[in-house]
Amino acid sequence: MMSPSVLLLLGWMLVPLTMTIYFSFLRYNLLNPGTESFTGWTNYYYFVTDPSFTDALVNTISIFGGVLFITTVGGVGFSLLLDQPMWKSGLIRMLVIAPFFVMPTVSALVWKNMFMNPVNGFFGQIATFLGLQPFDFFGQAPLLSVIWIISWQWLPFATLILLTALQSLDRDQLEASEMDGANSFSRFIFIILPHLARPITVAILIQTIFLLSIFAEILVTTNGGPGTATTNLTYLIYVQSLLQFDVGAGSAGGVIAIILANIVAIFLMRMIGKNLE
Amino acid sequence: MRAISNNRKALNTAIALTLGLFMSFPIIWILILSFKSELDAIGNPLQVLLSSWTLDSFSTVQGRSDYLKHFSNSVIISLGSTFLALLVAIPSAWAMAFVPGKQTKNILMWMLSTKMLPPVGVLIPIYLLFRDYGLLDTRAGLVIILTLINLPIIIWMLYTYFKEIPVDILEAARMDGAGLKQEILYVLTPMAIPGISSTLILNIILAWNEAFWTINLTASNAAPLTAFIASYSSPEGLFYAKLSAASIMAIAPILIMGWFSQKQLVRGLTFGAVK
């Protein structure tokens, strides 16, 4: 009974993957059909030595590191707060996690136009109102602005996971430690944080899968610019293949992206695999 | 549990509510802007709040850009891919949960690994295949892709739910003389339905918001809301009221579904690693 799904996934994985690897060794441009020829490692050489590859790699890591830092630290703080006894906790929790349900193109456009636009945006209006110089977010700090928008979407995810984990924490243990005179700081360091270690790792690894492939947010806000200031690996490959029609170089980039993702995947699989025992 | 003073609770509530309003402020703000005229929407925040309310933006969005077409594309693509994936996934997850073999664990892990394949790595082959088979800018094409992308998550999620159905209860039913048909109808189905329905909801959310394939494989005909909103990036995006109205209609259904499925979401997205 499992064979249909196995076959489907096997096809989904093998067919395009083989094609990508095959194309990556061809000189193949969609603008000159019929001129495909074998070029060996040339595509890889050009893709890797192109300065925009280094930029894209640095940007990918910056987005990834920046967003993970904000969502992890923020997520621990938010979840500890939401775990406190309060009224209307369901409503408040929904307000906090709502951004996660907003589609990427909407959140990117809303932040870019309605908040970060220096003339009519919310922040610009407030600054003008207070007599300050409005800050041109995408002109002055494009990468940080992109990181901010992505963090806004993923902070709720981290919060939700950590909150779920906190709610399975043994309350008796906390109370016992309190009786024994542990203050809230040492309770956090010695009981809560170790309990959260695993969910934090899982949240980080899962975000990694998505963060390495960020695309829509960049397309909608900056188109990778100015220059290559916000081009990540995914966006660079998109430009190579669907805008410049260079199938060979795009495929070589694709293979590199797959290898990078696999390195992360190995760690993630180990974590989840343990859970199957 | 110790009694917690009402003062403490009130303080917690106030802090958390502030945080919640801060996080969801962009959504609240576009909700307000969507009921304003275009001219009022670009005023300063105080003017925006004091100006009159109108439904104009919603009708303009539909009139000028055929909003309903894109909305129904989103509905068809997300529901279609979800049901198709469930159809394939239910028997498969069922088999792995109740009749596990030596390779079950490896197969599950391998399925998960297909999810780690970065979409951009297979963008070109999929694009070319779609071009050659006439699937570019068709809803059928997107249904196929989204089915395949989300299949591993669906199988995993169903697997973790099915695993929790006690096998003993089947034996008990058999002892009481239930046949296979009765067993499936009266024992298994009621126990499996909660798991299946939360898987369904999570997957609709994921498919609705998917923004890599939907943008790259569609033009105007099959574009769902993700791709349609992306086309607002310029210059229409500077019409705040219209952009807000289009955005609110695009995210409202998912926000409502998300409200009901927070817990299941965690489980589905962490492949059962956090419950």
Which of the two residues, A15 and B183, has the higher pLDDT score?
A: A15
Give the helix ranges, DSSP H, for B133-224: 139-163, 168-175, 180-182, 189-209, 213-216
Which candidate in B124, B126, B132, B214 is best for mutational testing of the A interface (most A CBs within 10 A)?
A: B124
The pLDDT-based confidence of A26 (bands split at 50, 70, 90) is: confident
A202-230 pLDDT, tens digit per residue, is 888 788 878 888 898 999 888 887 888 88
Q: Tell how far CA A20 is from the center of its chain.
A: 24
Mean pLDDT of chain A, nearest integer: 85
Angle between helices A89-97 and A142-166 in degrees, nearest 10: 150
* Residue A231 main-chain phi, psi, to 5 deg: -80, 120
Mean pLDDT of chain B, nearest integer: 84
Tell me which residue in A2, A103, A238 faces B209 most closely, judged by beta carbons: A103
A275 touches chain B (CB under 8 A): yes
**Alpha carbon distance A171, A189 (integer Å):** 16
Helix (H) or strand (E) holding A27: strand A26-27
Chain B residues in contact with A258 (beta carbon < 8 A): 117-118, 121
B16 touches chain A (CB under 8 A): yes
Q: What is the ipTM of this complex?
A: 0.86
Asked whether B257 and B250 are in contact (CB, 8 A), the reply is: no
Place of tokens 């963008």: B123
B221-253 pLDDT, tens digit per residue, is 888 989 888 888 776 667 888 888 889 988 999
Cis peptide before A226 (omega within 30 of 0): yes
Q: How many angstroms separate the CA of residue A188 from the nearest CA in chain B?
A: 18
Chain A residues in contact with B261 (beta carbon < 8 A): none
Question: Which amino acid type is present at position B78?
Answer: S
Q: Which CATH architecture has domain A73-199?
A: Orthogonal Bundle (1.10)
A79-122 pLDDT, tens digit per residue, is 999 988 888 888 898 899 899 999 999 999 999 888 888 877 88
B75 touches chain A (CB under 8 A): no
Res. B274: pLDDT tops 60: yes
Whole-number pLDDT of residue B3: 63
Average pLDDT over residues B257-273: 75
**Alpha carbon distance B184, B190 (integer Å):** 9
Record: contact B45-A265, CB cut-off 8 A: no
Whole-number pLDDT of residue B275: 66
Whole-number pLDDT of residue B235: 67
For chain A, the farthest-separated pair of C-alpha atoms sits apart, in whole angstroms, at 79
Which of the two residues, A8 and A37, has the higher pLDDT score?
A: A8
B125 touches chain A (CB under 8 A): yes
Whole-number pLDDT of residue B74: 93
Q: Where in chain B is the domain with CATH 1.10.3720.10?
A: 66-231
B15-72 pLDDT, tens digit per residue, is 999 999 999 999 999 999 888 887 777 777 777 787 878 888 888 887 777 888 899 9
Tell me which residue in B2, B17, B120 faces A237 most closely, judged by beta carbons: B120
Cα dihedral A207, A211, A215, A220, rounded to 10, equals 80
B184 touches chain A (CB under 8 A): no
Residue A38's SS3 state is strand
Tokens of A197: 């270690």
Q: In CATH, what class is B66-231?
A: mainly alpha
pTM: 0.88
Query: Which residues contact residue B60 at a Cβ distance below 8 angstroms, ignoring those fewer than 6 apart?
Result: B242, B245
Q: How large a percentage of chain B has pLDDT more than 90?
A: 18
